[in-house]
């Protein structure tokens, strides 16, 4: 098990890239089955989901589109609880099947805000696809249909997730060492 130091914190490997990719492929297979005749629009939430979204889309075999939205809710290692929309959605979503692609669902507030925003645009359906979910940290009731991995309530970095903008490039997912 390897460790990395980012800023003032040390992290240890918790989920190797091979396991992540195996789980991403399994989620993609479910989406391919469930959305076979729907031409979904994947809305990837930046910055954290960009690696997950890229790996996920490479496994999607059905017609689809992708776009990006940027929301912010973190400061350092904790969620601020306040979601700020940074870059909005430009596509016409009316009648579309939307799959939100998120790196991690923590409290669920970011996802709740996304669903509320999308709902005003009359989509045919809205689905949540996340790399990671922290079930014990959820504060809102969400239907997370596509989750690659459930993890404990620990701060993590790597595979697109950051600590103060550092560590996104790490291939594995690392957990903070107290």
Neighbours of 64 (CB within 10 A): 17
Active site residue 106: yes
Q: Measured between alpha carbons, how far is 6 from 175 in angstroms, rounded to an integer?
A: 12
Of residues 106, 141, 162, 164, which has the active-site annotation?
Answer: 106
Give the residue from 79, 152, 154 showing the smallest Cα distance to 110. 79
Burial 99-111 (b: 16+ CB within 10 A, else e): bbbbbbbbbbbbb
State the catalytic residues: 106
């Amino acid at each position: 098990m390897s460790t990395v130091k980012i800023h003032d914190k040390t992290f240890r490997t918790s989920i190797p890239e091979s396991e992540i990719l195996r789980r991403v492929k399994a989620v993609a297979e479910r989406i391919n089955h469930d959305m076979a005749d729907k031409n979904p629009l994947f809305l990837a939430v930046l910055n954290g989901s960009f690696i997950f979204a890229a790996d996920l889309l490479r496994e999607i075999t059905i017609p689809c589109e992708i776009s990006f939205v940027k929301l912010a809710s973190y400061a350092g290692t904790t969620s601020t609880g306040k979601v700020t929309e940074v870059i909005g959605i430009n596509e016409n979503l009316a009648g579309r099947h939307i799959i939100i692609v998120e790196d991690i669902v923590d409290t669920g507030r970011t996802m709740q805000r996304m669903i509320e925003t999308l709902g005003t645009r009359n989509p045919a359906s809205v689905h949540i696809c996340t790399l990671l979910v922290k079930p014990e940290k959820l504060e809102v009731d969400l239907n997370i249909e596509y989750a690659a991995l459930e993890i404990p309530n620990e701060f993590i970095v790597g595979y697109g997730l950051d600590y103060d903008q550092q560590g996104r490039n790490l291939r594995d997912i690392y957990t903070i060492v107290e």
